[in-house]
Amino acid sequence: MLNRLFRTQSHSIPRSFSTMQPTKRTFSPLYNSDGNAAADRLAFVHILERLKTQKRTGWVDHNVPSPESISDHMYRMAVLAMCTSDTQLDVSKCVMMCLVHDLVETNVTVGDITPREGIPKSEKQRLEAEAMHNFVHEMLHNSPTAQRIEHLWQEYETGETPEARFVKDLDRFEMASQAFEYEKNHGMTTLQPFFDSSLPAVRHPEIQQWGKDLLAERKAHQSSMDDIEAGRE
């Protein structure tokens, strides 16, 4: 059954890495239901396993040791959504949206397509919609659960509600946080584009403050490393 499920893919992050070579992917057909609801549901369970094992392409392309998976990224976003003090948000919806916003990237049809792969945005959107349709109708038989997942994903993609915009800002902040942690833990020196493509676009006031706090911590860490290096000279 698993051979029918996927097209191989990787999940990536920012946009402008002209010196980086994209992770190559091959494509195979979408999952086709054989009418067995139990088997189809298990197919969805198995495709979710890719959330735990699929590494995010941006980190892979930058040779980050042991890079995070898609689920690593989405899980921290979900917990961060619970940390907000914004009482105007539907926090439960935000948490669920965090957990499904990159779901289509577990599907072998899509992955996280990067601009340098030369795939037009309209084609990327088509592939993602096709993947979500496959989950909803072939695997989950258009059940209420499937419809909830689809509606949350569509709301995030449209980006018109406060919750969708908030989750998108969490996506940006989480990526910048991870970039700093790779700098700190692995001595990475090529990750500035991850900051440039994320924090300047944040619009939610609370997450803007989180971003400022993160950059202050990053600056202090860099100063500390400079002092250590100067002491060796």
CA 224 to chain centre: 31
Residues 6+ apart with CB under 8 A from 223: none
Residues 6+ apart with CB under 8 A from 156: 97, 100, 101, 164, 167, 168
In this structure, are residues 104 and 110 in contact, taking their beta carbons and an 8 Å threshold?
yes
d(CA 155, CA 178): 25
Mean pLDDT of successive 10-residue stretches along the chain, which has 233 residues: 40 47 58 94 93 90 94 98 98 98 76 62 84 94 97 97 98 98 96 97 98 98 85 69
pTM over cut 0.95: no
Q: What residue type is assigned to position 229 of the chain?
A: E
**Residue the block writes with tokens 């709301």:** 155
* CA neighbours closer than 13 Å in the CB half-sphere of residue 92: 1
Task: List phi, psi (to 5°) of 100.
Answer: -120, -5
